[in-house]
Structure 1
Amino acid sequence: MAETAIVLNREQWMGSQESGASGVRPVVVDPYLACHLRPHQVEGVRFLYECVVSGPPGQRGAILADEMGLGKTLQVLTLLWTLLRQNPQGSRPLVTKAIVVAPTTLVRNWEAEVRRWLGPERLRPLSLVAGPAQAEQGHRLKAAAGSKTISALGALGCPARVLLTGTPVQNAPREFFAMADFVRPGVLGDLPAFERVFGGPIARAQDRAGTEEDKALGRERARELVSRISGFMLRRTAEVNARFLPPLSVYIVFCRPSELQLREYRRVLQSTAVHTLLSNGPGDQALAVLSSLRKICNHPCLAPDPDRDAGLTPDSPPRPADSGKLAALDAMLAAALADPGERAVVVSQSTAALDLIGALCATRGWPCQRLDGATDPARRVDMVDAFNRHGVGRVFLLSTTAGGAGLNLVGAARLFLFDSHWNPAMDRQAMARIWRDGQKKACTVYRLLTTGRRGVWRWEVWGG
């Protein structure tokens, strides 16, 4: 065995060697995969191996919660291939069958990753597209009280479970409880006890109205929770990639609103809906008002107004001068794409905004590809490959929700976040699409925000 071999059960194997016991063999990562693993990925594979092989029945599970771009897929494929081929103490492999459950839109991504790292001669996966159940993208298992997805996955009867997520907590601690309880049932007690001991104190500590005592207790409980989960959850930040990838720069671009945006802004603030909210407090119309303000931040034509010029609609030719953000995006794209080798990704949580940007690109002669919720999952991998490998399209239009996870868009080195999602975790997922394994160029991310005379418009901040 080579000195550089990656042995996953080194302590068990060395212990048997020292004691003179027989029958324990080293579990070695296939050199075909080992040569691609970075140090943090080797650590990850070892961690997952210990979690799924050791421990009592029903408690063999792990959460790999690395931030986006650190190679979670490669780590899990390395683990699966090793378990499917080896056993430290028997002739049969530790695992004979494995199931990867992913959102429908990522099934073909997993097929492509298996072919990329193992090749069809080593492992040929059977793919079934049967609905949006998740195990990869484990943060979507956030129904702490249970859900049909959790029940369906539990019914598979798998003795070991691994969840992948880049955002283990999106909104509240109880969402993490759902994931932990799935991989290791009962490890954090039941939900009421978890809420009483951890969830409640941590949430109160983060509340702006929390007292110093609340904050101190929240910090103490957070440390205790981290200690409890450290045995089955591993998380590394994107800073790890700084040693292996080209530089990443992130800029916030403040865009002054046009006169038309200001007029539309005043119209909304003077509307009956806003007066009702100010008089009666938050009600059913609050979300509608906020949505209108967010649309105005993107472009006035996206916000409905029966009294406005009929020529200003989402279907009319794009007028960048009517929107500070669209004008800024137009100018920055023109400057970037003046270099024939440069391409860009533009992300928006609004498909109507993507329509507008796509129309702008068409008038400028910039070929586009687009991926959103309406894109056929069967075409998704082909579109990404065409963009990354064959240079199809100068601009890739991406929906925050549909394309915010599991995509590798290293064919571009510039990403423009046109607007902010309600959930900041979705924005972080989207911004990580270009700075990941395979990227050869220095990357730049631009986050566009509409500003007013007194700073950033508040509903832009609320959105992200």
Structure 2
Amino acid sequence: PVAPHILDAALATVASRAPRLAAALLPFQREGVAFAIGKDGRALIAHDMGLGKTLQAIAVMAHYAQEWPCLVVVPASMRWPWVDSLETWLDECISPGEINVVRDGNNTAINDPRYKVTVVSYPLLNNASILAQVESQRFQVVVADESHYVKDAKAKRTKALLPVLKRASRCILLSGTPALNRPRDLFTQMDALRPGALGTFTDFAKRYCNARRLPWGWDYNG
């Protein structure tokens, strides 16, 4: 458990900016928020479905509001639920007109200073125009919901998002299933949070994935 004095200090800023949100957090959610803040805003929140990962992420966003604009990357179907949650819980420090929802590749408002939060889907990060805007904005607070979407280092969306996550000062990953099938699924997510801390993928695989050299090459599926 997080020490009480650390817990209180971490939640104080959240309470000053989003008092209803701070009051709504359950004890285990308060610990999750304090944990993320204690890790300088770079953490994976991996609670099971229905336990309030979104609420905790929004609380961490509130703590770092002075570093906004914030980027929220989500599955396409989750864009509007996220907007609803932001409008519900951050109404003390954000208005509906300050949320930019990227609906398609024609959106040109990502760098517009009017917006405090941009919500974009993983598929749209594959759009060259959208990605260029995201990169030029250099978001310092980034949330990646269902972060197991970037488990495959070779996937286009992973190549697009990983540099954005690494460059941000605050990076909050959310997933109830960060390792869907194998330990190797964790590497890109961990590397996003702490670039280089686990070495290369090969280093990680040899240590955590029971890597085996076979006649045709290495097997990292353990």
The normalised TM-score by structure 1 is 0.33
Q: Partner residue of 1:40? A: 28
Tell me the equivalent position of 1:67. Answer: 48
Q: Give per-residue Cα distances to partners, 1:168-217, cap 9 Å, x unaligned.
A: 1111111111211122211211111111111116xxxxxxxxxxxxxxxx
Q: Among 139, 160, 175, which residue is 1:152 paired with?
A: 160
CA separation in 2, counterparts of 1:184 and 1:147?
Answer: 20
Spell out, residue by residue over 1:264-309, the C-alpha distance to the aligned partner (whole angstroms, 9 max, x if none).
Answer: xxxxxxxxxxxxxxxxxxxxxxxxxxxxxxxxxxxxxxxxxxxxxx
**Alpha-carbon distance between aligned partners in 2 of 1:149 and 1:8, rounded to the nearest angstrom:** 36
2:14/2:62 contact within 8 Å kept: no
**1:51 aligned onto 2:39:** yes
CA distance in 2: counterparts of 1:47 and 1:197, whole angstroms: 26
1:113 aligns with 2:95: no
* 8 Å contact kept, 1:52–1:160: yes
Following TM superposition, by how much is the alpha carbon of 1:120 offset from its aligned partner in structure 2, in angstroms? 7.8
Task: Verify the 8 A CA contact 2:14 2:22 in the aligned structure 1.
Answer: no
Q: Which amino acid aligns with 1:82?
A: H
CA contact (8 A) 1:139 1:167 kept: yes
How do 1:31-430 and structure 2 match up within 5 A? Answer: 31-53=19-41, 61-84=42-65, 93=66, 95-119=67-91, 122-124=94-96, 125-130=99-104, 131-133=121-123, 135-143=144-152, 145-156=153-164, 157-200=167-210
Separation in 2, partners of 1:8, 1:50? 10
Q: Distance in 2 between matches of 1:118 and 1:160?
A: 18
SS of the aligned residue for 2:168 comes to coil
How far apart in 2 are the matches of 1:141 and 1:105?
17
Asked if structure 2 preserves the Cα contact closer than 8 Å seen for 1:146 and 1:178, the reply is no
Task: Give the 3 Å change call, closer, same or farther, for CA 28–77 of structure 1 in structure 2.
Answer: closer
State, as a whole percentage, how many aligned pairs show the same letter.
31
Residue 141 of structure 2 aligns with which residue? none
Distance 1:82 1:126, change over 3 A: same
- Cα 1:32–1:68 shift into 2, 3 Å: same
Work out the CA distance in 2 between the residues paired with 1:178 and 1:28.
29
How far, CA to CA, are the matches of 2:170 and 2:202 in structure 1?
Answer: 26
Structure-2 separation of matches of 1:187 and 1:165 = 21
Query: Structure 2 CA distance, aligned partners of 1:8 and 1:102?
Result: 29
1:159, 1:146 → 2: CA distance? 24
Q: What SS does the corresponding residue of 2:77 show, helix, strand or coil?
A: helix
Tell me which amino acid in the other structure corresponds to 1:147: A
Letter in 2 for 1:98: C
Q: What CA distance in whole angstroms lies between the structure 2 residues aligned with 1:28 and 1:139?
A: 27
Equivalence for 2:139: none
* Per-residue deviation, 1:101: 0.5
The answer on whether the counterparts of 1:33 and 1:118 sit within 8 Å (CA) in structure 2 is yes
Kept after mapping to 1: 8 A contact 2:184/2:205:
yes
After superposition, the Cα gap between the structure-2 partners of 1:146 and 1:50, relative to the gap in structure 1 and judged at 3 Å, is: farther
| Paired letter, 1:171 | N
Higher strand share: 2
CA distance in 1, matches of 2:14, 2:163: 32
User: Is the alpha carbon distance of 1:166 and 1:33 closer, same or farther for their aligned partners in structure 2, counting shifts above 3 Å?
Assistant: same
Tell me if structure 2 keeps the 8 A contact 1:65–1:167: yes
Unmatched 5+ stretches in structure 1 = 1-5, 11-25, 54-60, 85-92, 202-217, 219-464
Contact 1:7 1:27 in 2 (8 A): no
2:147–2:189 Cα contact (<8 Å) kept: yes
Query: Are the aligned partners of 2:44 and 2:172 in contact in 1 as well (CA < 8 Å)?
Result: yes
Distance 1:45 1:150 in 2: 26
Higher RCO (CA < 8 A, seq sep 6+): 2
Distance 2:151 2:28 in 1: 27
Write the distance in 1 (CA, Å) between the matches of 2:175 and 2:70: 19
Alignment match, 1:437: none
The 2-side partners of 1:185 and 1:28 are apart by 27
Alignment-mate amino acid for residue 201 of structure 2: L
Unaligned segments of structure 2, at least 5 residues? 1-6, 105-120, 126-143, 212-221
Tell me how large the CA RMSD over aligned residues is. 2.6
Cα displacement string for residues 228-278 of structure 1 (whole angstroms, at most 9, x for unaligned residues): xxxxxxxxxxxxxxxxxxxxxxxxxxxxxxxxxxxxxxxxxxxxxxxxxxx
